Structure 1
Amino acid sequence: MNIGKPRKLGRTIEEIEEGDSLSLTESIEDQQLLLYLGLTNDANPLYIQHDYAKQTEYERPIVPSVMLMGLITSAISKHLPGPGSHVVNFSMNFVEPVYHYETLTFMFEVIKVDKMKGVVTISVEAVNQEENRVLDAVVMVQPPMIQSEEPVEE
Protein backbone atom coordinates (compact mmCIF):
# COMPACT_ATOMS: atom_id res chain seq x y z
CA MET A 1 0.00 0.00 0.00
CA ASN A 2 1.31 3.41 -0.91
CA ILE A 3 -0.31 6.11 1.25
CA GLY A 4 -0.94 9.34 -0.61
CA LYS A 5 -0.56 7.77 -4.06
CA PRO A 6 -3.52 8.56 -6.33
CA ARG A 7 -5.73 5.51 -6.70
CA LYS A 8 -8.55 4.68 -9.05
CA LEU A 9 -11.87 5.40 -7.37
CA GLY A 10 -14.75 2.96 -7.07
CA ARG A 11 -18.09 3.28 -8.80
CA THR A 12 -20.14 6.45 -8.36
CA ILE A 13 -23.83 6.34 -7.51
CA GLU A 14 -24.65 6.77 -11.21
CA GLU A 15 -22.69 3.60 -12.01
CA ILE A 16 -24.34 1.40 -9.37
CA GLU A 17 -27.60 -0.48 -9.88
CA GLU A 18 -29.87 -2.46 -7.62
CA GLY A 19 -28.91 -6.12 -7.92
CA ASP A 20 -25.16 -5.47 -8.31
CA SER A 21 -23.44 -8.15 -6.25
CA LEU A 22 -20.13 -9.47 -5.01
CA SER A 23 -19.02 -12.69 -3.35
CA LEU A 24 -15.80 -12.96 -1.31
CA THR A 25 -14.24 -15.76 0.69
CA GLU A 26 -12.08 -15.02 3.74
CA SER A 27 -10.27 -17.37 6.10
CA ILE A 28 -9.81 -16.27 9.70
CA GLU A 29 -6.17 -16.93 10.61
CA ASP A 30 -4.09 -16.39 13.76
CA GLN A 31 -2.17 -13.50 12.20
CA GLN A 32 -5.36 -11.48 11.59
CA LEU A 33 -6.66 -12.18 15.09
CA LEU A 34 -3.37 -11.23 16.73
CA LEU A 35 -3.12 -8.01 14.70
CA TYR A 36 -6.67 -7.04 15.65
CA LEU A 37 -6.19 -7.86 19.33
CA GLY A 38 -2.86 -6.02 19.44
CA LEU A 39 -4.21 -2.98 17.63
CA THR A 40 -7.27 -2.66 19.87
CA ASN A 41 -5.64 -3.91 23.09
CA ASP A 42 -8.70 -6.17 23.47
CA ALA A 43 -7.80 -8.96 25.90
CA ASN A 44 -11.25 -10.56 26.12
CA PRO A 45 -10.53 -14.17 27.16
CA LEU A 46 -13.39 -15.35 24.94
CA TYR A 47 -11.26 -14.41 21.91
CA ILE A 48 -7.94 -15.95 22.92
CA GLN A 49 -8.04 -18.26 25.92
CA HIS A 50 -8.97 -21.84 25.13
CA ASP A 51 -9.32 -22.76 28.84
CA TYR A 52 -11.79 -19.95 29.44
CA ALA A 53 -13.74 -20.47 26.21
CA LYS A 54 -14.11 -24.19 27.00
CA GLN A 55 -16.19 -23.22 30.05
CA THR A 56 -18.63 -21.12 27.98
CA GLU A 57 -21.45 -22.06 25.63
CA TYR A 58 -19.03 -21.48 22.71
CA GLU A 59 -16.58 -24.17 23.91
CA ARG A 60 -13.66 -22.59 22.01
CA PRO A 61 -12.39 -19.06 21.20
CA ILE A 62 -14.52 -16.99 18.85
CA VAL A 63 -13.69 -14.22 16.41
CA PRO A 64 -14.43 -10.67 17.69
CA SER A 65 -17.59 -9.18 16.18
CA VAL A 66 -15.86 -5.92 15.26
CA MET A 67 -13.25 -7.86 13.29
CA LEU A 68 -16.06 -9.35 11.17
CA MET A 69 -17.45 -5.85 10.63
CA GLY A 70 -13.97 -4.83 9.49
CA LEU A 71 -13.94 -7.58 6.85
CA ILE A 72 -17.24 -6.24 5.50
CA THR A 73 -16.18 -2.58 5.44
CA SER A 74 -12.89 -3.56 3.82
CA ALA A 75 -14.73 -5.34 1.00
CA ILE A 76 -16.92 -2.27 0.51
CA SER A 77 -13.82 -0.03 0.37
CA LYS A 78 -12.02 -2.33 -2.05
CA HIS A 79 -14.80 -3.59 -4.30
CA LEU A 80 -18.42 -2.44 -3.94
CA PRO A 81 -18.67 0.51 -4.48
CA GLY A 82 -14.87 0.58 -4.05
CA PRO A 83 -12.14 3.08 -3.18
CA GLY A 84 -13.45 6.45 -2.04
CA SER A 85 -16.67 5.10 -0.48
CA HIS A 86 -17.74 5.90 3.06
CA VAL A 87 -19.92 3.73 5.34
CA VAL A 88 -22.57 5.95 6.96
CA ASN A 89 -24.74 3.32 8.69
CA PHE A 90 -24.12 -0.28 9.71
CA SER A 91 -26.62 -2.74 11.17
CA MET A 92 -25.49 -6.29 11.86
CA ASN A 93 -27.00 -9.49 13.23
CA PHE A 94 -24.67 -12.21 14.49
CA VAL A 95 -26.58 -15.45 13.90
CA GLU A 96 -23.91 -17.96 14.94
CA PRO A 97 -20.45 -17.54 16.46
CA VAL A 98 -17.47 -17.54 14.12
CA TYR A 99 -14.53 -19.61 15.33
CA HIS A 100 -10.82 -19.30 14.67
CA TYR A 101 -9.70 -20.84 11.34
CA GLU A 102 -13.18 -20.81 9.80
CA THR A 103 -13.60 -19.86 6.16
CA LEU A 104 -16.46 -17.48 5.49
CA THR A 105 -18.15 -16.59 2.23
CA PHE A 106 -19.64 -13.09 2.18
CA MET A 107 -22.39 -12.25 -0.31
CA PHE A 108 -22.97 -8.55 -0.96
CA GLU A 109 -25.94 -7.19 -2.92
CA VAL A 110 -27.02 -3.62 -3.63
CA ILE A 111 -30.68 -3.53 -2.57
CA LYS A 112 -31.34 0.21 -2.92
CA VAL A 113 -29.83 3.17 -4.75
CA ASP A 114 -30.97 6.53 -3.34
CA LYS A 115 -29.59 9.20 -5.65
CA MET A 116 -31.36 11.98 -3.71
CA LYS A 117 -29.51 11.09 -0.48
CA GLY A 118 -26.38 9.95 -2.32
CA VAL A 119 -26.29 6.54 -0.64
CA VAL A 120 -26.62 2.91 -1.63
CA THR A 121 -27.88 0.19 0.69
CA ILE A 122 -26.02 -3.10 0.59
CA SER A 123 -27.28 -6.35 2.06
CA VAL A 124 -24.59 -8.72 3.35
CA GLU A 125 -24.84 -12.36 4.33
CA ALA A 126 -22.00 -14.62 5.43
CA VAL A 127 -21.92 -18.39 5.67
CA ASN A 128 -19.22 -20.66 7.05
CA GLN A 129 -17.68 -23.67 5.32
CA GLU A 130 -20.64 -25.81 6.45
CA GLU A 131 -22.96 -23.34 4.65
CA ASN A 132 -24.44 -22.19 7.97
CA ARG A 133 -25.42 -18.52 7.98
CA VAL A 134 -23.28 -16.78 10.61
CA LEU A 135 -24.24 -13.14 10.09
CA ASP A 136 -26.23 -10.72 8.06
CA ALA A 137 -25.90 -6.98 7.78
CA VAL A 138 -27.34 -3.94 6.08
CA VAL A 139 -24.82 -1.25 5.23
CA MET A 140 -25.55 2.22 3.91
CA VAL A 141 -22.66 3.55 1.87
CA GLN A 142 -21.85 6.85 0.25
CA PRO A 143 -20.15 5.94 -3.05
CA PRO A 144 -17.09 7.97 -4.06
CA MET A 145 -17.86 11.57 -4.93
CA ILE A 146 -15.59 14.11 -6.52
CA GLN A 147 -16.35 17.68 -5.60
CA SER A 148 -17.13 19.97 -8.50
CA GLU A 149 -14.21 22.02 -9.78
CA GLU A 150 -16.54 24.97 -10.40
CA PRO A 151 -16.01 28.08 -8.25
CA VAL A 152 -18.44 28.49 -5.36
CA GLU A 153 -20.68 31.56 -5.53
CA GLU A 154 -20.63 33.75 -2.44
Structure 2
Amino acid sequence: MAGLYLEEFSIGQVFKHEIRRTVLESDNMLFSSLTYNSAPIHIDHDYASKTEFGKPLMNSVFTLGLIIGLSVQDTTVGTTIGNLGFGEVTYPAPVFAGDTIRCETTVLEIRESKSRPTQGIVTFEHKGINQHGAAVCVAIRKALMMKKPLN
Protein backbone atom coordinates (compact mmCIF):
# COMPACT_ATOMS: atom_id res chain seq x y z
CA MET A 1 0.00 0.00 0.00
CA ALA A 2 1.55 3.29 -1.07
CA GLY A 3 -0.56 5.52 1.19
CA LEU A 4 0.37 6.17 4.81
CA TYR A 5 -1.66 5.36 7.89
CA LEU A 6 -2.50 8.06 10.42
CA GLU A 7 0.40 7.12 12.72
CA GLU A 8 2.91 7.40 9.87
CA PHE A 9 2.33 11.13 9.36
CA SER A 10 4.05 13.83 11.39
CA ILE A 11 3.27 17.52 11.70
CA GLY A 12 5.54 19.52 9.42
CA GLN A 13 6.29 16.51 7.22
CA VAL A 14 6.84 17.62 3.61
CA PHE A 15 6.29 15.50 0.53
CA LYS A 16 7.84 16.63 -2.76
CA HIS A 17 5.80 14.47 -5.10
CA GLU A 18 7.81 13.04 -7.96
CA ILE A 19 5.02 12.79 -10.54
CA ARG A 20 4.55 15.92 -12.64
CA ARG A 21 2.03 16.63 -15.37
CA THR A 22 2.05 18.91 -18.38
CA VAL A 23 -1.48 20.25 -18.86
CA LEU A 24 -2.93 20.37 -22.35
CA GLU A 25 -5.52 22.44 -24.14
CA SER A 26 -7.55 19.25 -24.58
CA ASP A 27 -7.56 18.76 -20.77
CA ASN A 28 -9.02 22.23 -20.36
CA MET A 29 -11.66 21.80 -23.07
CA LEU A 30 -12.73 18.36 -21.86
CA PHE A 31 -12.87 19.32 -18.18
CA SER A 32 -14.75 22.55 -18.91
CA SER A 33 -17.20 20.65 -21.14
CA LEU A 34 -17.75 17.82 -18.65
CA THR A 35 -18.48 20.31 -15.87
CA TYR A 36 -20.65 22.59 -18.06
CA ASN A 37 -18.29 25.51 -17.45
CA SER A 38 -18.85 27.69 -20.49
CA ALA A 39 -16.73 30.62 -19.28
CA PRO A 40 -15.08 32.01 -22.44
CA ILE A 41 -11.83 32.62 -20.52
CA HIS A 42 -11.37 28.80 -20.64
CA ILE A 43 -12.82 27.74 -24.00
CA ASP A 44 -12.78 30.70 -26.42
CA HIS A 45 -9.36 31.56 -27.84
CA ASP A 46 -10.60 34.74 -29.52
CA TYR A 47 -12.20 36.02 -26.32
CA ALA A 48 -9.17 35.04 -24.22
CA SER A 49 -6.78 36.74 -26.67
CA LYS A 50 -8.35 40.08 -25.70
CA THR A 51 -7.89 39.56 -21.94
CA GLU A 52 -4.86 40.49 -19.86
CA PHE A 53 -3.67 36.87 -20.22
CA GLY A 54 -3.80 36.79 -24.02
CA LYS A 55 -4.81 33.13 -24.10
CA PRO A 56 -7.19 30.74 -22.34
CA LEU A 57 -6.67 30.00 -18.65
CA MET A 58 -6.78 26.42 -17.45
CA ASN A 59 -9.95 25.78 -15.46
CA SER A 60 -9.06 26.41 -11.81
CA VAL A 61 -11.08 23.44 -10.55
CA PHE A 62 -9.08 21.21 -12.90
CA THR A 63 -5.88 22.65 -11.42
CA LEU A 64 -7.12 21.94 -7.88
CA GLY A 65 -8.04 18.37 -8.79
CA LEU A 66 -4.68 17.86 -10.46
CA ILE A 67 -2.60 18.90 -7.47
CA ILE A 68 -4.65 16.66 -5.17
CA GLY A 69 -4.26 13.82 -7.65
CA LEU A 70 -0.50 14.33 -7.86
CA SER A 71 -0.31 13.94 -4.07
CA VAL A 72 -2.26 10.73 -3.49
CA GLN A 73 0.40 8.17 -4.48
CA ASP A 74 2.70 9.28 -1.64
CA THR A 75 0.09 10.09 0.99
CA THR A 76 -3.41 8.63 0.85
CA VAL A 77 -3.87 5.97 -1.83
CA GLY A 78 -5.51 2.98 -0.14
CA THR A 79 -5.42 4.49 3.36
CA THR A 80 -7.95 7.29 3.13
CA ILE A 81 -11.61 6.92 3.96
CA GLY A 82 -12.43 10.15 2.12
CA ASN A 83 -12.08 13.89 1.92
CA LEU A 84 -13.76 15.83 4.72
CA GLY A 85 -13.45 19.18 3.02
CA PHE A 86 -11.28 21.98 1.84
CA GLY A 87 -10.27 25.11 3.68
CA GLU A 88 -8.88 28.06 1.80
CA VAL A 89 -7.96 27.48 -1.84
CA THR A 90 -5.96 30.18 -3.62
CA TYR A 91 -4.57 30.60 -7.12
CA PRO A 92 -1.50 32.88 -6.85
CA ALA A 93 -0.60 32.58 -10.56
CA PRO A 94 -2.43 31.50 -13.72
CA VAL A 95 -2.05 28.12 -15.40
CA PHE A 96 -1.94 27.80 -19.19
CA ALA A 97 -1.90 24.86 -21.58
CA GLY A 98 1.71 23.68 -21.84
CA ASP A 99 2.57 24.37 -18.20
CA THR A 100 4.04 21.50 -16.20
CA ILE A 101 2.65 21.23 -12.68
CA ARG A 102 4.16 19.48 -9.68
CA CYS A 103 2.91 19.31 -6.10
CA GLU A 104 4.38 19.64 -2.63
CA THR A 105 2.35 18.59 0.41
CA THR A 106 2.89 19.63 4.02
CA VAL A 107 1.16 17.96 6.96
CA LEU A 108 -0.36 20.73 9.09
CA GLU A 109 -2.34 18.83 11.72
CA ILE A 110 -3.06 15.28 12.86
CA ARG A 111 -5.71 14.14 15.29
CA GLU A 112 -7.57 11.01 16.19
CA SER A 113 -11.25 10.84 15.34
CA LYS A 114 -13.55 11.43 18.31
CA SER A 115 -16.25 9.15 16.90
CA ARG A 116 -14.27 6.56 14.91
CA PRO A 117 -11.60 4.77 16.99
CA THR A 118 -9.88 3.20 13.96
CA GLN A 119 -9.50 6.49 12.09
CA GLY A 120 -8.14 10.00 12.35
CA ILE A 121 -7.98 13.30 10.51
CA VAL A 122 -4.97 14.74 8.73
CA THR A 123 -4.91 18.33 7.51
CA PHE A 124 -2.75 18.80 4.44
CA GLU A 125 -1.53 21.86 2.59
CA HIS A 126 -1.11 21.04 -1.10
CA LYS A 127 0.87 23.47 -3.24
CA GLY A 128 0.85 23.25 -7.03
CA ILE A 129 4.00 24.68 -8.61
CA ASN A 130 4.66 25.35 -12.28
CA GLN A 131 7.84 24.77 -14.30
CA HIS A 132 9.09 28.26 -13.36
CA GLY A 133 8.81 27.55 -9.62
CA ALA A 134 5.72 29.76 -9.16
CA ALA A 135 2.90 28.58 -6.90
CA VAL A 136 -0.27 28.25 -8.99
CA CYS A 137 -2.64 26.68 -6.46
CA VAL A 138 -2.53 26.29 -2.68
CA ALA A 139 -5.22 24.25 -0.93
CA ILE A 140 -5.88 23.17 2.63
CA ARG A 141 -7.56 19.74 2.77
CA LYS A 142 -8.79 17.53 5.60
CA ALA A 143 -8.78 13.78 4.98
CA LEU A 144 -10.21 11.00 7.10
CA MET A 145 -7.43 8.43 7.35
CA MET A 146 -7.17 4.83 8.51
CA LYS A 147 -5.07 3.93 11.52
CA LYS A 148 -2.73 0.95 11.23
CA PRO A 149 -4.60 -2.33 11.57
CA LEU A 150 -4.11 -4.00 14.96
CA ASN A 151 -3.26 -7.44 13.55
TM over 0.5: yes
Which residue does 2:10 correspond to in 1? 17
Which residue does 1:108 correspond to in 2? 105
> C-alpha offsets along residues 23-50 of structure 1, whole Å, 9 cap, x if unaligned?
2422101332233123212222111211
Q: Do structure 1's residue 43 and structure 2's residue 45 form an aligned pair?
A: no
Corresponding residue pairs, total = 141
Q: Do structure 1's residue 93 and structure 2's residue 90 form an aligned pair?
A: yes
Which residue does 1:140 correspond to in 2? 142
> C-alpha offsets along residues 72-124 of structure 1, whole Å, 9 cap, x if unaligned?
33235443122352111212111111111111121112122112452101112
Identity %: 23
Stretches of structure 1 that go unaligned for 5 or more consecutive residues are 1-7, 149-154
How far apart are residue 59 of structure 1 and its match? 1.4
Quote the Cα distance in structure 2 between the aligned partners of 1:127 and 1:147.
Answer: 35
Which 4+ residue blocks in structure 1 deviate beyond 3 angstroms?
75-79, 144-148
Larger Rg: 1
Which residue does 1:152 correspond to in 2? none
Counterpart of 2:53 in 1: which secondary structure?
Answer: coil
When normalised by structure 2's length, the TM-score is: 0.79
Stretches of structure 2 that go unaligned for 5 or more consecutive residues are 115-119
Q: Indicate how the Cα distance of structure 1 residues 146 and 42 shifts in structure 2: closer, same or farther if over 3 A, else same.
A: farther
1:140 counterpart letter in structure 2: K
Counterpart of 2:34 in 1: which secondary structure?
Answer: helix
Which residue does 2:58 correspond to in 1? 63
Quote the Cα distance in structure 1 between the aligned partners of 2:39 and 2:65.
Answer: 18
When normalised by structure 1's length, the TM-score is: 0.77
| RMSD (CA atoms) | 2.4
Contact 2:15/2:74 (<8 A) preserved: no
